[in-house]
Copies of this chain bind each other. A is one copy, B any other.
Amino acid sequence: MVSIKDIAKHAGVSISTVSYALNGNPKVTEETSKRILAVAKELNYVPNAAARTLKKRETRIIGAFLTTFEGAFYGELLQGMKEEMNKHGYDLVICSGTQSHRMLPEGMLDGAIILDRLFSDKELLLHANRGHKLVVLDRKLKHDNIVQVLLDNKAGATFAMEYLLRRGHKKLYAVSGPEGSFDSVQRLAAARQTVERGGPGIRYEELPGNFDKASGAAAARRIIAEYDGPVGVFCLNDEMAIGMYHALKGTPFRIGEHVHVVGFDHIDIADYVQPRLATIDYSERRWGAVAAEQLIKLIEGGSSAEHERIYVSLVEGDSVGRANG
């Protein structure tokens, strides 16, 4: 491995001069600098990250933590983060699994964006207390070193339920997400509230779900088992809605005719299924970019970072028809 020491030797200067030259410090003459840079290039010099980090206490790397790489990989979200980070000279790496949590306290990351229920609130607060900067996308958490950038779940769930009500549906279901999910809790609460405000004569039931296709299919089977007329179903994410499509295939029940479905997330496949799935849309890319932006503010400490909300909108689809045919 070639170090600044080697460059110094070859160029006949001291290591500090080399360091200055490499970092573009104007103290060193144009001439010496040129010579040093040339030698560096010739020797194929690459700085050592560990040494630089040890000294400067920063890596210019941000970690985004996901629960798993599987399923919806949040492609656009991550791309949004990455582009924003790169603009500011940071690199983004994606991590998953408790084993990788060590990277934060060990100082390999300048900050982290959390979308991962495997991090407990307690653990995050611990890190924040140690001075690590965090953005959370999956919970509310109050700390000077943490900012939240959250989806407007309340608005989304309200749009979805109001859409079903507007179409005349009187028997409604909500299919929930997994136990610990923040999104699920928020969406469910808003759905419930919308029903309560929807006036009398509305039947409403909540079915357990898990944000995956299988649980959507299971919910569909429950719904048709007790079917006594058109129903409106708010699946708390699209994945489950797709599972519902699957389960109804080969039964006499039709989506958009007997079972009227709204999802959440506007995943790719929602536009390709028949009938097209009504869903709640938002810009993943923007979500990522905003999260990145706030984290950088937090790290660089200039203007104070602020909690942000990501707005959502309803995408109508043929998966929801009128209650009376």
Contacts and interface: CB of A to CB of B under 8 A. Distances in A.
A97 B86 contact: yes
Please list the 4 inter-chain residue pairs (A to B) with the smallest Cβ-Cβ separation, ordered nearest first: A49-B106, A50-B53, A94-B94, A93-B93
Contacts of A82: 69, 96-97
29 contacts: A46-B105, A46-B106, A47-B106, A48-B54, A48-B106, A48-B107, A50-B50, A50-B51, A50-B53, A61-B103, A68-B75, A69-B73, A69-B78, A69-B94, A70-B75, A71-B72, A72-B73, A72-B75, A73-B74, A73-B78, A79-B96, A91-B97, A91-B100, A92-B95, A93-B94, A93-B103, A94-B94, A242-B272, A272-B273
Which of under 10, 10 to 19, 20 to 34, or 35 or more describes the interface residues of A?
Answer: 35 or more
Given A69-B79, A91-B99, 8 more contacts: A44-B130, A49-B53, A68-B79, A69-B75, A71-B72, A79-B96, A82-B96, A273-B273
Interface in A90-131: 91-97, 99-100, 102-103, 105-108, 130
A272 B69 CA distance: 21
A127 to B, nearest CB: 10
Contact of A108 (B49, B73, B78, B102): B49
Contacts of A46: 102, 105-106
A317 B117 CA distance: 38
A63 B61 CA distance: 13
A78 B66 CA distance: 12
Nearest to A72: B73
A274 interface: yes
A157 to B, nearest CB: 24
A11 to B, nearest CB: 21
A189 interface: no
A48 to B, nearest CB: 6
Given A73-B72, A268-B269, A269-B268, A50 B107 contact: yes
A242 B74 CA distance: 20
A93 B91 contact: no
A1 to B, nearest CB: 8
A82 B69 CA distance: 9
Contacts of A159: none
A167 interface: no
A76 B70 contact: yes
A245 interface: yes
A93 B100 contact: yes
A246 interface: yes
A283 to B, nearest CB: 13
Contacts of A103: 49, 61, 91, 93
A253 to B, nearest CB: 17
A82 B73 CA distance: 14
A44 B74 CA distance: 34
Contacts of A74: 69, 73
